[in-house]
Amino acid sequence: MRKGVELPPAPEGTTSPSTAVPGQRLRVRYAKRGRMRFASHRDIARALERALRRADVPVAFSAGFSPHPKVSYTGAAPTGVASEAEYLELTLAQRREPARVGADIDAAMPDGIDVVEVVEARAPGLAERLQASAWRVELGGFGPGEAESAVRAYLAAETVEVERMTKKGRRRFDTRPAVVGIDVCRGPGRAPGEQDTTYAILRMVVRHTTPAVRPDDVLTGLRHAADLAPPSSVMMTRLAQGPLDETTGAIADPLAVDRNDSGTADAAEERGDSAPQPSAPMTGPR
């Protein structure tokens, strides 16, 4: 160690790198709702670190000159997109009841970042289980009939290329292989005495690929394939992510293999949240 330089102390309730022991690994499902959908991944990471300190969670720290909390995020949704199924893995230096940890973190997080469930990691490979995502996309200003025609044209195409700026610069890629299926639903209809406000809602299942195909890429593909130009502001929500059934297009719960036989209490039980059920099979053409 260099003279005159001291390692920053680990937050209270944590184990310092020099005394770290193999810890308890917890997997957390959380939701990103309301205005918090505009929070960046870095904003959420900072909010979680503050919540861990406030809740006195004994998080483990990495070794080295600049220790950091052992937290890893998997499959984070893009900024501006709401989500009911975000996942992270957390390592504790001391064993704790997962449901209690979830409740404590949830109480310390800002409104709109809600801890839905915490389970102990009992099997490897959470990232490998996140094979696809189910999305809900609200197309205000477009009726279901118009959207259905565009979806049919998109799904009938062999390739639908789009261009987007990525971390490696502007890149052109084919979105079609990633899209398992798209269903068109109806949004709220007309209330008595009011103008008809029925609009299309797309429910799509998209494989996790490299480069990643996002729901806004699919919307761009709909414009290329069928000249459907969605409004600039579209409400997009990730409903689920997990193992993909290639036959039905359904997405299973990625934490199912980690739960014990008696089940794990929901950190947000009082809010009425529940563990995610398998997403509905896609009924439209693929």
User: What Cα–Cα distance (Å) separates residue 147 from each residue in 139, 150, 172, 260?
Assistant: 8, 5, 24, 43
d(CA 183, CA 147): 10
- Domains belonging to the chain, first-starting first, are 17-128 (3.30.70.580), 132-242 (3.30.70)
Cα within 13 Å of Cα(275), Cβ side: 19
pLDDT value of residue 261 = 42
Report the pLDDT averaged over residues 86-92.
97
DSSP class of residue 158 equals: S
* 135 membership: H or E segment, kind and range: strand 132-139
Per-residue pLDDT reduced to its tens digit, 36-86: 999 999 999 999 999 999 999 999 999 888 898 999 999 899 999 999 999
The C-alpha torsion from 188 through 194 and 196 to 199, rounded to 10°, is -30
Q: What type of residue sits at position 55? A: A
C-alpha–C-alpha distance, residues 197 and 208, integer Å: 33
Coil, helix or strand at residue 30: strand
Read off the pLDDT of each residue in 185-190 and give the average, rounded to a whole number.
Answer: 74
Full-model pTM: 0.81
Would the pLDDT of 19 be above 50? no
User: Is it the case that residue 188 has pLDDT exceeding 80?
Assistant: no
Selection from 83, 119, 79 nearest residue 101 by Cα: 119
> What is the structure's pLDDT at 169?
86
| 107-162 residue pLDDT tens | 999 999 999 999 999 999 999 999 999 999 999 888 899 999 999 999 999 999 99
Distance (Å, whole) CA 153 – CA 222? 8
Per-residue pLDDT reduced to its tens digit, 231-275: 778 999 999 999 999 999 999 999 999 985 434 444 444 444 544
What value, to the nearest 5°, has the Cα angle with vertex 129 and ends 246 and 286? 25
Q: Averaged over 193-219, what is the pLDDT?
A: 87
Beta carbons of 219 and 201 less than 8 angstroms apart = no
